[in-house]
Amino acid sequence: MTDDAPADDFPLDPRLAADTILLGDLALSRVLLLDDKRFPWLVLVPRRADVSELTDLSPADAARLMEETRLAVGVMQALAQPDKVNVGALGNVVAQLHVHVVGRFRSDPAWPGPVWGHGTREPYPAHAAAQLVERARALFAAA
């Protein structure tokens, strides 16, 4: 995973950019951390223009996205040790194809319901975000 500045030629939806912290890039996907301390939450965004559905990807890119999703689930399990990992690609609010990898706990405020629309996002304190980003990057690098 690279943690270089985002490439200028890849347009990330402004709503995703506003609510996330960049972790880096995998072969296909930009990896983001949702800035919400209530839920450990990764977002994978394939770096392909004008893609909104999984079926818009080439077969090779679709297979790569599945492998990167599997990798992100493993990182989430090591990072947060959740009771369950939810994976989804909804796109009802942000059309740009992106995959959510959310660590869920029986004790979290939305359990057992969905996290979407539950309460208000609570950003990480700066020091906590920095530590989480460092740890997540190390886990991706080691995977």
pLDDT confidence bin for 91, thresholds 50/70/90: confident
Q: Determine the distance from the C-alpha atom of residue 43 to the mean position of all C-alpha atoms in its chain, rounded to a whole number.
A: 1
Please state, in angstroms and rounded to a whole number, the distance separating the CA atoms of residues 130 and 45.
21
The DSSP secondary-structure symbol of 2 reads B
Give the pairing type, strands 99-104 and 41-46. Answer: antiparallel
pLDDT over 70, % of the chain = 94
DSSP bridge pairs for 33: 21, 42
* Burial of 133 (C-beta count, 10 Å sphere; 0-12/13-18/19+): middle
> What is the average pLDDT across 113-121?
90
Confidence (pTM):
0.94
DSSP bridge pairs for 99: 44
Please state, in angstroms and rounded to a whole number, the distance separating the CA atoms of residues 143 and 138.
9
pLDDT tens per residue across span 1-48: 765 555 556 789 999 999 999 999 999 999 999 999 999 999 999 999
Q: What 3-state class would DSSP assign to 29? A: strand
